Amino acid sequence: MVSAIDKSVRDFSNKAIIKDGKITVEQRCGGEKVGTYTFPLEEWERTYKDYNPNWAHKKLIEEKAGMEPAEESGGPCQWDRIIDSQIYAIKKAYKLL
């Protein structure tokens, strides 16, 4: 098991845990857990084969996170930053494998 945390969005940290072939992302706002989702590691690895892996990462996480821009306070810009933070956390954890 490996894990990494990204705190690039103030008061909204994201932790990625890779264990048993699965990636779990825990979302925290102000120290409280506000969401969690899990998906197979092979889906993440498949994005590296795309002609634009960074775009593939973003689309995968948007789908898995199940968030809509309007749901997040701060609107679409804040939502993009949260998605990017989740991607950074996963990349940090993936490097530790």
List the chain pLDDT tens, one digit each, 97 residues: 999 999 999 889 999 999 999 999 999 988 899 999 999 999 999 999 999 999 999 999 999 998 766 555 566 678 889 999 999 999 999 999 9
Q: Bin 31: left if φ > 0, else alpha if -120 < ψ < 50, else beta.
A: left
Residues 6+ apart with CB under 8 A from 3: 15, 16, 17, 18, 93
